Chain A
Amino acid sequence: MVKASATVDIVQKKLVYLYMCTYAPQKPDLAVLAINTLCKDCSDPNPMVRGLALRSMCNLRMPGIQEYIQQPVQNGLRDKASYVRRVAVLGCAKMHIQQGDMEVDGAIVNELYNLLRDPDPIVLVNCLRALEEILKTEGGVVINKPIAHHLLNRMADLDHWGQSEVLTILLRYKPRSEEEIFDILNILDSYLKSTHISVVMGATKLFLVLVKEFPHVQTDVLVRLKGPLLAACTSESREMCFAALCHVREILRSLPGHFSSHYKKFFCSYNDPHYIKNQKIDILCELVNDENVHSILEELRICCTDVSIQLAHTAIFAIGRIARTYSERCVKILAGLLEFKQEHITSAVIQTFRDLVWLCPQCVSSVCLALPGCEGNIQDNEGKHALIWLLGMHGEFITNAPYVLEEYVDNIKTETSPTVKMELLTSLVRLFLCRPAECQDILGRLIHYCIEEETNMAVRDRGLFYYRLLSSGVNEVLKILSGPKSDPSLGVLADRTEQPVNTWITDFNSLTPLYDKKYRESYSSILTKSELSFVSKHLVEDLHSPDDSEVSKETIDLFSLICGVSISPERFEKKWTSIATKLCLNIEWKQEAEPDLLQTSLHVLNIYTIAKSKAGTQPWKSYLYAQDSNRNMFLVELVLNTNPPVLQVTVKQDAENKDALTNFVTFLKSAVSTVLGLIK
């Protein structure tokens, strides 16, 4: 293979290099042989060959390659052909990553910063990418005012891929003045109208972030986004539609009526796949207002009879959501759906009714009118459960309620679900209270069955409970079972309040809105972790800030704690009891501060907790430990007194070292004060 690369046929060369790049990690000894040819190709007169050889050489992932590629990459950065420069710039990044934890090469970084002025737009973007990779540990490429403005001026030369990426990188730039912000907005204005939705979205995100402080400007930006985003929602590519729809939902979180006038765009098309239909139905629910409610409900009603059971359910539950505001119309439609006598439709409608009457007591009478006659069409447990609950709660308005329940009692032996049985018990007891004559016999039979024949312990216990309750007199039963029949206040909770735009800005134009909710929840827990690191960064910054006292500045420079130290609780206890010398001090504490926050912040600063009392215990205590770079071990006891709020700190050291101890104490003190400073 290696020999084959020394050919003039460029196609053959390309394929050989491709092959080598793929197999180099497995056969490094053979790949070394190719380096000679590659080096020679790097000075070929044809720029395409030079670029190809350089790229392939940097892609050889094997140890020891760095020494060979350094020189060709250096040369490549100064090559006449932009094609070679592009490859060389990314080559720098590849070289750096392969070196692993080696230090950042200052010369290369400087060279790359200079190449940002390269006439070729792709070289420019590649420089940004390479710097981003090389300086990852320092927080990526530095965007200061000259660079930011240089990038802004070059935007027009870039293709839309480059534009999107530069817009993302510009997010990091913080303009100094309001005037500068609006200058930038003016320069970038045309990108809000780009034909490429990715550029539009990138620009929108940058705009939203820049004008964080001006909510009305944010609204204006989102108004301008409407057109392009709606066009993407009807794009030929389904994946694009989906991404756009997810972002429409995100915007609706802050501006509920934003797309109301365009509601027809969100009607389901015949050949939309289900995931798009689901998104559209969810969006339609948010857009309802007095003018379009009729058409939207009509559209949703069509979906209710869809062949797909899944979609039908989504549509029915969506009508239920709209019913909280437009109850009368929706109940009429839902009641109409019961006529179809389809099992899955009936079950979903009944479940919707159950949720609805709990939130909107005014619907009770119309719901009760619709109920009779649907019991034969419910087969699944969820639906049965809902129907039985409704019959028990509002049985006094439904004439045939006792007889429906009787049917269930008669068939109880074939019933498999314990929750349905328990619901039946509760409902029948409730119904018994308002219509005793009709229910007495049925209830007796049911309780008898539950106690004598039922094998499920939970159901049996519930039966016994009601038996004893009933034998203690009707008044007792009334006292226990007469809870509220509805709770409209819950509706306020269920309806989402408008969130400020800033809550979702960071996720805008990222994958987060595209993941479904279940995943997002687990994802958000990761986010809280990153928030934590933000707190810690804040802490460290504060510790480093120049207005701290002279002493603490020095200590931080000299003093550092090792991360990842561990010690067993037994050893800790032994040490704690064996060391007599200790240093005690009191630090002022604020009443409203959470000791747990201190805990986590200290953890970030490499002071680890070994034991602590639960939050709220008086006095709160915790034991911590840390080790500095000179292997000095510190053991700490924190006791928090609430009245007056004082934090008692006791520090013990396993080998005496005065300096280290004072350093540690100053470190701890400033950490505590920063945590208190965070709470206002």
Chain B
Amino acid sequence: MISQLFILSSKGDLLIHKDYRGSSAHTSLADGLYLKLSSLPSDQAPVVMEHEGCHFIHTRQRGLYFVISIGSSDSPFLYIDLLNRLAALIRDYCGDVSESVIRLNFALIYELLDEVLDYGYIQTTSTDMLKNFIQCDPVVMKPFSLLDMSSVGLFGAETQQSKVAPSSASSRPVLSSRHQLSEQNEIFLDVIERMTVAIGPNGTLLKADVQGELRLKSFYPNCSELRIGVSEEFCVGSSELRGYGSAVRVDSCQFHESVKLDEFEISRILKVLPPQGELTVMQYQISDGLSTSLPFHLFPSVERDPGSSRLRIFLKLRCDLSPKSQAINIRVQVPVPKGASSVSQELSSPDQNAEMSLSTQTMTWNIPRIGGGSQLSALFKVDVSGCVSLPSVLDLPPVNLSFQIPSHTSSGLQIRFLRLRNERPTAIHTWVRYLTQSDSYSVRLG
């Protein structure tokens, strides 16, 4: 059971404190805990710790610490899960999780904590059930961001982009307001895949894993049954054969317990009653068996200028997506040797930039977007001070890529349809969004 719960800001301020059991509680505990958290050596796992005789377990979400104290024989999985769920609940109710959101909505959050936990025992965490008890209205932040402007057509012109739901559409509270019913008729289904790829020095694929999930976010209360049709070619395990052409093959997949699977075997249809809020309908894993080609290939070459202590790093980045799709927010992190002092760069277009951070010994090449089938190159000349021998200069840690590819799944999984039963077709807008992003995409040098 939980005796205490804290939410600390990244600077250690106590934002929320709830003492469920009336055991010795004072704010100095939170301060001491924060000191302990922030002073840990990097190799030591900070997930659990003992402080003044209590066992604390914590998670970090968007720079905030969610901390609870529990007994030593309690299940860590259960309570880590709970902390993640709490953050998700706050996101459901307030639209986002951040220090300012929590400060603005503290009454709502205390109300939530009161209903979710009683005397340190978990009561319920379902957004649907909780909404009956939650009375406060959320205070929504209206951040002004230039990025949002990009989705608005110039002079009100219908651009192609405006047909797509803006990216910020789903980051608002599920129960935003009791009065604006008209907005509450949207259901989002996100197919999110995270790639973990390692490529060897000669371009061989060492490892390619994908963790994918179908995440449903519903703003619509009392929804009737939703039928989600996934690709017919979707196969689980290595032996199953289905459909024509290349199969969408995953190694294992798990469904949320509320998903009805009676039509899944035959026609690959998932049936679910979407509750208001977020629901992970399905999770799947693929290891080492991607049916599509990798999105990026990087051809690095590192050589030393003869006669000087200068290193030339030439990078060629090829995007192997189909010409219709594009990747955004690409960041290539290139390691530089110890003793590197300055860098000069030659990039192929002005919207890219590169910077070097000496503390982490990396150089970051930022590319805002790259279209499928195109190729970019960059040349970096790094001055290395001191006499560094050849092998140590040439043997660098792997290059890492991070990126996002909207409207693309690396597994090839597609949603065929998203249908609500007994519902006038215009009443509810359903959106399907695909996103592939990098978890770790590393290319080894030499």
Q: Which of A15, A202, A240, A244 has the most CB of B within 10 A?
A: A240
Which chain B residues (71-114) contact chain A, with CB distance < 8 Å?
A: 72-78, 80-84, 107, 110-111, 114
Pick the most buried of B81, B209, B283, B440: most chain A CB atoms within 10 A of its CB: B81
Q: Is the CB of A14 within 8 A of B111?
A: yes
Tell me, in angstroms, the Cα distance from A15 to B111 when the chains sit together: 8
Q: A270-B398, A308-B42 are in contact. Are A196 and B252 (CB under 8 A)?
A: no
In the complex, per-residue mask of A155-186: 1 if CB is within 8 Å of any chain B CB, else 0: 00001110011001000000000000000000
Q: Is the CB of A267 within 8 A of B198?
A: yes
CB proximity of A548 to chain B, nearest CB, Å: 34
Interface positions, chain A 261-282, Cβ under 8 Å from B, are: 262, 264-265, 267, 269-276, 278-279
Contact B211 A234 (CB under 8 A): yes
Contact A243 B338 (CB under 8 A): no
Contacts of A125 in B (CB 8 A): 121
Residues in A whose Cβ lies below 8 Å from that of B126: 159
Known: A302-B398, A340-B395. A307 touches B361 (CB 8 A): yes
Shortest CB-to-CB span from A58 to chain B, Å, is: 8
B-contacting residues, A237-293, CB 8 Å: 237-240, 242-244, 262, 264-265, 267, 269-276, 278-279
Q: Are A270 and B121 in contact (CB under 8 A)?
A: no
Question: Does any Cβ of A come within 8 Å of B50's Cβ?
Answer: yes
**Residue B124 is within 8 A (CB to CB) of chain A in the complex:** yes
A295 is an interface residue with CB less than 8 A from chain B: yes
- Cβ-defined contact, B133 with A48, below 8 A: yes
A510 to B77, CA, bound (A): 9
Q: Is the interface of A mostly helix, strand, loop or mixed?
A: helix
Given A196-B81, A310-B43, A86 and B118 touching (CB < 8 A)?
yes
Known: A86-B118, A231-B283, A342-B392. A164 touches B75 (CB 8 A): yes
Residue pair B335, A307 in contact (C-beta under 8 Å): yes
A residues 300-334 near B (Cβ < 8 Å) are: 302, 305-308, 310-311, 314
Asked if A70 is at the interface of the complex by the 8 Å CB criterion, the answer is no
Contact B84 A240 (CB under 8 A): yes
Count of residues in A whose CB is under 8 Å from the partner chain: 85
Give the A-B pair count, Cβ closer than 8 A: 203
Pair A164/B252 contact, Cβ less than 8 Å: no
**B111 contacts A126, CB within 8 Å?**
no
The interface size of chain B toward A, counting residues with CB under 8 Å, comes to 83
Q: A126-B121, A234-B196, A264-B287 are in contact. Are A243 and B76 (CB under 8 A)?
A: yes
| Docked CA distance A86–B124 (Å) | 11
Is A10 interfacial (CB 8 A cutoff)? yes
Known A269-B439, A302-B398; judge A168-B75 contact (CB<8 A): yes
Q: A25-B22, A274-B43, A511-B55 are in contact. Are A129 and B72 (CB under 8 A)?
A: no
State in angstroms the CA–CA spacing of A197 and B280 once bound together: 14
Q: Which of A593-609 contact B (CB under 8 A)?
A: none
Q: Are B48 and A514 in contact (CB under 8 A)?
A: yes
Indicate whether A129 sits within 8 Å of B121 (C-beta atoms), given known contacts A164-B78, A271-B440: yes
- In-complex Cβ contact of B257 among A25, A161, A194, A510 (8 A): A194
Contact of B207 with A264 in the complex, beta carbons under 8 Å: yes
Nearest chain A residue, comparing its CB with the CB of B107:
A15
B291 at the interface (CB under 8 A from A): no
Interface hits, B272-290 → A, CB 8 Å: 280, 283, 285, 287-288
Quick check: B80 and A237 within 8 Å, CB to CB? Answer: yes
Most buried by A among B44, B45, B389, B392: B45
Q: How far is the CB of B444 from chain A (nearest CB, A)?
A: 6
| Chain B nearest Cβ from A357, distance in angstroms | 25
Q: Which residue of B lies closest to A86 (CB)?
A: B123
Q: What residues of A have a CB within 8 angstroms of the CB of B283 in the complex?
A: 195, 231
Residue A227 CB within 8 A of the other chain: yes
Q: Which of A211-252 contact B (CB under 8 A)?
A: 227-228, 230-232, 234-240, 242-244
Known: A340-B391, A510-B72. A198 touches B121 (CB 8 A): no
Interface string of B372-402 (1 = CB under 8 A from A): 0000000000000000010110011110101
Stretch at the interface among A87-95, A379-387, A620-628, A642-650: A87-95
A101 touches B (CB below 8 Å): no
**Please, which residues of chain A bring their CB within 8 A of the CB of B361?**
307
Q: Across the interface, do B48 and A515 meet the contact criterion of CB distance under 8 Å?
A: yes
Q: Is A61 close to B, CB under 8 A?
A: yes
Question: Are B45 and A302 in touch, CB under 8 angstroms?
Answer: no
A50 close to chain B: CB less than 8 A: no
Tell me whether A516 and B44 are in contact (CB under 8 A): yes
Residue B164 is within 8 A (CB to CB) of chain A in the complex: no
Chain A residue, CB-CB nearest to B280? A195
**Is B119 among interface residues, defined by CB-CB distance under 8 A?**
yes
Whole-angstrom distance between the alpha carbons of A508 and B14 in the complex?
A: 33
Q: Which residue of A lies closest to B77 (CB)?
A: A198
- Complex: how many Å from CA A265 to CA B252? 14
A201 proximal to B (CB < 8 A): yes
Task: State which of A94, A165, A243, A267 has its C-beta within 8 Å of the C-beta of B77.
Answer: A243
Query: Would you call B45 and A516 a contact (CB within 8 A)?
Result: yes
Inter-chain CA distance A50–B34, complex, in Å, is: 38
Instruction: Flag whether A339 is at the interface (Cβ < 8 A).
Output: yes
Contact A161 B136 (CB under 8 A): no
The answer to whether B119 and A90 touch across the interface, beta carbons within 8 angstroms, is yes
Q: Tell me the bound Cα distance from A160 to B196 in angstroms.
A: 29
A270 to B135, CA, bound (A): 44
What are the residues of chain B within 8 A of A307 when measuring CB–CB? 335, 360-362, 397
* Interface residue? A666 (CB, 8 A): no
Say whether, besides A269-B440, A274-B43, A302-B398, A234 and B81 are in contact (CB < 8 Å): no
Residues in chain B within 8 A of chain A (CB atoms): 1, 19, 22, 41-48, 50, 55, 57-60, 70, 72-78, 80-84, 107, 110-111, 114, 118-119, 121-126, 132-133, 135-136, 194, 196, 198, 206-207, 209, 211, 252, 254-257, 280, 283, 285, 287-288, 333, 335, 338, 360-362, 389, 391-392, 395-398, 400, 402, 439-442, 444
Write 12 A-B pairs (CB below 8 A) sorted by A numbering. Answer: A93-B119, A129-B121, A239-B80, A242-B45, A243-B80, A269-B439, A271-B440, A276-B45, A310-B42, A339-B391, A340-B392, A514-B48
CB-based closest 9 A-B pairs:
A269-B440, A275-B45, A198-B78, A270-B400, A198-B77, A340-B392, A270-B440, A161-B122, A243-B76
Known: A15-B107, A509-B75. 4 other contacts (CB 8 A): A61-B22, A168-B75, A270-B441, A310-B41
